[in-house]
A and B are shown apart, each in its own frame.
Chain A
Amino acid sequence: MATRSSTSSSADRLAPLMAHLLVGVGGLLMLAPFWFMFVFATHSRTDIFSLPPPLWFGDASLGNLQILTSRLPFWRNLGLSLYVAAASTGFTLLFCSMGGYAFAMFEFRFKRALFALVMGTLLVPSFMNMIPTFMIMNALGWIDQPRALFIPGAANAFGVFLVRQFVIASIPRDLVEAARMDGCSELGIYWRIVLPLLRPALGTLGLITFIASWNNFIGPLIVMRSPEMYTLPLALRALQSPVDTEWGALMTGSAIATLPLLVLFMLSSRQLIAGLTSGAVK
């Protein structure tokens, strides 16, 4: 790291102090919304909108939860979110590891064209798919079906790219060749040699996929029509109404939707940050 504080004039000492202060205040402003989300989650609607507003935890979280579960099939929505996120992570890891391994290690017809096409779709904005996806799901009869959320995303261009890069960088061809010589079957090589070596890349991809699915709003907004099939973000949005929003319950729901992400982030922030910016940082 470059250290620039070799001279010791007062301006040179003051500047880093100011910078520290600014970063500190900035960091607090970044965290403040999370703080208020969790504080508000423990207060009733009237408490939240009183003067002064609550800055510390209250005792209304159970009451909020009751409102939440009376207005929505909340636990079902939560379970559905978990189910969709888990299934989408599983399918994405399986199909992207197979595809990425094939792109990295094998030659096959149309490989280059196919890869270019897949990478091209990375640049296609999400709104392009909104309308055709609805019509396709409608035609397939997948409206209100969880699979409409986890099957399409399993062919994840980013995931295939990530796995392909990882295989090229860290799985030696000789190893695969040696296993082949020893009589290991082709799928055996994939399953018993490649997959275990892919673990770090798959860990990152799995985290990213899980979080993306957990947070996904546009997907369920398009295909989930009945409240029993809402995932968490959609359920929270349904609680909002122009006239009579139960803000306390809404905050409790939001906090429950956010908490798993905070835990995941604390456990794996380095891996997550590296993974989410890996397309850029090379």
Chain B
Amino acid sequence: MRQTAAALLQALARRDLAAASRILTDVLPVRLSPATVPYVLISPFVLLFLVFSLFPLVFSLYLAFHVWEPTDGLAAMTYVGIDNFRFALGDDWFWKSLGNTVWMALASGVPQHLVAIPLACFLNSGLGRGRDLAVGVFFLPYITSTVAIAILFSSLFSTDYGLINLALAHLHGIPLLGTLLPAQPVDWMGRPENIKPAISLIVFWRYLGFNVVLYLAALQTIPGDLYEAARMDGAGWFRQFWFITLPSLRPMLFFAVTLSVIGGLQLFEEPFILTGGKGGSDQAGMSTAIYLYRTAFDFNDFGAASAMSWLLFFLVAGLTYATNRAFRPRAGSQ
């Protein structure tokens, strides 16, 4: 034992971590049998999982039925039954935030898929060697800091000097197309009706590439001879798309739409940064996640905020189930 300790110290002194770890792993676990080792391996994970993933959920459910006085420590809880839920369901701002969230989830989510599917089809069939580069470019926004991006966009959306309004002003000069565009600079962040489209645009920009990659992966599993056979039968590209590509994409479409539903209803960071954490004028950019954050941390009502988080969770679960029903392959068809 003393020898091993000495060898270990020497190895550490030499900064030879590999040798040190070899000595340690040979000595310490001598008594571990294959029957006990899984418990040793899994315990750090399980411990953290129970404390920081599972317990918070249970605690949040408990909290939803209580009123908590933050200044009096964790034990200062009063049971109030379903009062928190009743408060949330009678709260105008809660309903407004739900409306905002669904609005922005639709306005950012639907175009994502409408653009991503044709884009993925094109990247799959054409482009050849440039494909990896194109995929990388479209995917890039997904991995960058939401905060940095939202900050940048808040300058691009500035009314008088923002690039987006300048671009719109230029495009307004073009006949035909120009008549569709506003003649005056748009007050993106100041006017309630403009906040949601601005936020949705950023979300669309951020998640488009992610969906392209999903659809591209699904497209690559479609056997090429299906298209071959269709061409032999004289099917044009549209019929090939409608009768081969779309049906084959169905499982991925379900998955990608589900992710959009779950992600869209959690929307927090983009509107939080763009509206300074308050939800914008007339709360037009206040998503439900922002409102429950404010209910807890600005208004100190942790119980009501927990109740709201469960209500939003049920909405997410319900909509996921509905998507599942809508996209599930029907019995009898493929």
Contacts and interface: CB of A to CB of B under 8 A. Distances in A.
Interface string A244-271: 0001001101110110011011000110
Given A130-B296, A280-B214, A155 B48 contact: yes
Interface stretch (A61-69, A72-80, A179-187, A198-206): A179-187
A214 B25 CA distance: 33
A185 B25 contact: yes
Contacts of A34: 140, 144
A108 B38 contact: yes
Interface in A107-139: 107-108, 111, 114, 117-118, 121, 123-136, 138-139
Interface in B3-47: 21-22, 25-26, 28-30, 32-34, 37-42, 44-47
A103 B42 contact: yes
B210 to A, nearest CB: 7
B227 A254 contact: no
A95 interface: yes
A276 interface: yes
Nearest to A111: B38
Interface string A1-37: 1111000000000011001100100110111011011
B48 A151 contact: yes
A90 interface: no
Contacts of A155: 44-49, 52-53
B32 A49 contact: no
Nearest to A96: B45
B85 interface: no
A280 B269 contact: no
Interface stretch (B173-181, B192-200, B259-267): B259-267
Contacts of A114: 42, 46
B163 A188 contact: no
Contacts of B25: 185, 187-188, 191-192
Contact of B140 (A30, A134, A217, A250): A30
A128 B313 contact: yes
Given A37-B148, A125-B316, A269-B139, A108 B39 contact: yes
Contacts of A19: 122, 126
Interface stretch (B86-94, B102-110, B130-138, B323-331): B130-138
A82 interface: no
B145 to A, nearest CB: 4
Contacts of A29: 205
Contact of A217 (B49, B135, B141, B147): B147
B241 to A, nearest CB: 11
A250 B38 contact: no
B59 A135 contact: yes
Nearest to A49: B161
B259 A247 contact: no
B284 interface: no
Contacts of B213: 273, 277, 281
B248 interface: no
B27 to A, nearest CB: 9
Contact of B41 (A190, A257, A276): A190
B56 A138 contact: no
B276 interface: yes
B149 interface: yes
Nearest to A45: B155
B82 interface: no
A48 B155 contact: yes
Nearest to B139: A273
A135 B64 CA distance: 13
A139 B152 contact: no
Interface in B210-266: 210, 213-214, 217-218, 224, 227, 231, 237, 252, 255-256, 259, 262, 265-266
Contacts of A53: 161, 163, 166
Interface of A: 1-4, 15-16, 19-20, 23, 26-27, 29-31, 33-34, 36-37, 40, 48-53, 94-96, 98-99, 101-103, 105-108, 111, 114, 117-118, 121, 123-136, 138-139, 151-155, 157, 160, 180, 185-188, 190-192, 211, 214-215, 217-218, 232-233, 236-237, 240, 242, 247, 250-251, 253-255, 257-258, 261-262, 264-265, 269-270, 272-273, 276-277, 280-281
Interface of B: 21-22, 25-26, 28-30, 32-34, 37-42, 44-49, 51-57, 59-60, 63, 68, 74, 119, 122-128, 132, 134-149, 151-156, 158, 160-161, 163, 166, 205, 208-210, 213-214, 217-218, 224, 227, 231, 237, 252, 255-256, 259, 262, 265-266, 268-269, 272-273, 276-277, 288-289, 292-293, 296-297, 302, 305-306, 309-310, 312-313, 316
7 contacts: A49-B158, A52-B166, A121-B53, A131-B306, A133-B56, A134-B297, A155-B46
Those 9 A-B pairs whose CB atoms lie nearest each other, nearest first: A155-B48, A99-B45, A152-B52, A106-B38, A132-B56, A254-B148, A233-B147, A102-B41, A186-B37
